A and B are shown apart, each in its own frame.
Chain A
Amino acid sequence: NAGVTQTPKFQVLKTGQSMTLQCAQDMNHEYMSWYRQDPGMGLRLIHYSVGAGITDQGEVPNGYNVSRSTTEDFPLRLLSAAPSQTSVYFCASSGLAGAVYEQYFGPGTRLTVT
């Protein structure tokens, strides 16, 4: 059982370049989300999805796009990278454990924008 997988683990981009961070889960969870983690800021929600075809913005959505064509995959796109997007990105999926949701995280993608 792989859980939540993310690729790549590390990435360096130049300002203005685009890229897609991949995220997949094999737990059949409807709810998936993307966070960024910055020193002293904790986790901030970028976008989330409550099921295939349904996405919504979180706390810090500017500069990022998402889509959800399947239950398993939830890619995050940076259309024109900026140094302010240097961060560690975590994908998570949530499923019911009893009557309460639990959230499961991927290992993260460490992105540097120069």
Chain B
Amino acid sequence: GDSVTQMEGPVTLSEEAFLTINCTYTATGYPSLFWYVQYPGEGLQLLLKATKADDKGSNKGFEATYRKETTSFHLEKGSVQVSDSAVYFCALIMNTGNQFYFGTGTSLTVIP
């Protein structure tokens, strides 16, 4: 079935460090891919998305590229801030469906 696997956390980085959170997917067709962010005590918010192979989604300094050949959608940021501390979820939806599949989430803590 369709699924998403993301790297286990927690991840702890110093401010201004480079961030990568790995995400790979399994899908029988053509999915759209998403990264959601959950700040402490809040619901999930859409961070970025990509709808087809080689698309790059970007927002707030975060980027992710849809790689069909490696079935991946890794999240990157060049210089993290304390305010980026949150849980990040990778997700997919099939382009012919309306059900989302989420990874288990990766907790990020950025220390000053």
Contacts and interface: CB of A to CB of B under 8 A. Distances in A.
Interface string A27-49: 00001010000001111010010
A42 B43 contact: no
B46 interface: yes
Interface stretch (B58-66, B69-77, B78-86, B102-110): B102-110
A contact residues, range:
20 to 34
Nearest to A104: B46
Contacts of B105: 42-43
Interface string A1-32: 00010000000000000000000000000010
Contacts of B99: 33, 45, 48
Interface of B: 32, 34, 36, 42-46, 49, 51, 89, 91, 93, 95, 98-100, 102-105
Q: Tell me the dominant secondary structure on chain A's binding face.
A: strand
Q: Tell me the dominant secondary structure on chain B's binding face.
A: strand
A103 B46 contact: yes
Nearest to B8: A40
Interface of A: 4, 31, 33, 40-43, 45, 48, 50, 90, 92, 94, 98-108
Contacts of A98: 51
Contacts of A101: 32, 93, 98, 100
A36 B34 CA distance: 19
A102 B93 CA distance: 9
B51 A100 contact: yes
A94 B44 CA distance: 13
Given A42-B89, A107-B42, A108-B42, 10 more contacts: A43-B89, A43-B105, A92-B44, A94-B98, A100-B32, A100-B49, A101-B93, A102-B46, A105-B44, A107-B43
